[in-house]
């Protein structure tokens, strides 16, 4: 049985908030056992909790904020567009990927694929 749209919405909201202000362990806690991460699409797929934790640990020490722009939910899948703004001293780095996720019956993330490339990063 697929999770409700409300459960998926809560997981996406928690994901965006945690990616911006949480720890890698808090982000990984949103993932189901056996989950995969492909970020960005076309790179090696991370298939272990350890590799997913390593991936998200990069963001822990940054001053960031995130904003959800669009969310679409169908069955046990969601596609959403959001911005992640990172403050680097006097500069800001903004990336606005489109993420596609699948969820298990409990609303945990089974897979995440992020659609973006280097040209999508904006420095101001």
Alpha helices in 1-124 (DSSP H): 5-21, 24-28, 49-57
Tell me the HSE value of 61 on the side-chain side, using a 13 A CA sphere. Answer: 3
Predicted model pTM: 0.94
Average pLDDT over residues 117-123: 90
CA distance 44 to 49: 14
pLDDT tens track for 53-74: 999 999 888 999 999 999 999 9
Catalytic residue numbers read 15, 39
């Amino acid at each position: 049985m697929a999770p409700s749209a409300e459960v998926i919405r809560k997981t996406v909201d928690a994901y965006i908030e945690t990616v911006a202000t949480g720890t890698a362990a808090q982000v990984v806690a949103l993932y189901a056992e056996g989950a995969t991460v492909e970020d960005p699409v076309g790179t090696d797929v991370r298939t272990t909790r350890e590799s997913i934790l390593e991936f998200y640990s990069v963001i822990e020490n940054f001053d960031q904020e995130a904003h959800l722009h669009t969310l679409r939910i169908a069955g046990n899948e969601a596609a959403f567009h959001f911005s992640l703004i990172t403050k680097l001293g006097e500069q800001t780095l903004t990336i606005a990927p489109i993420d596609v996720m699948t969820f298990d019956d409990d609303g945990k993330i089974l897979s995440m694929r992020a659609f973006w490339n280097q040209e999508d990063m904006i420095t101001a």
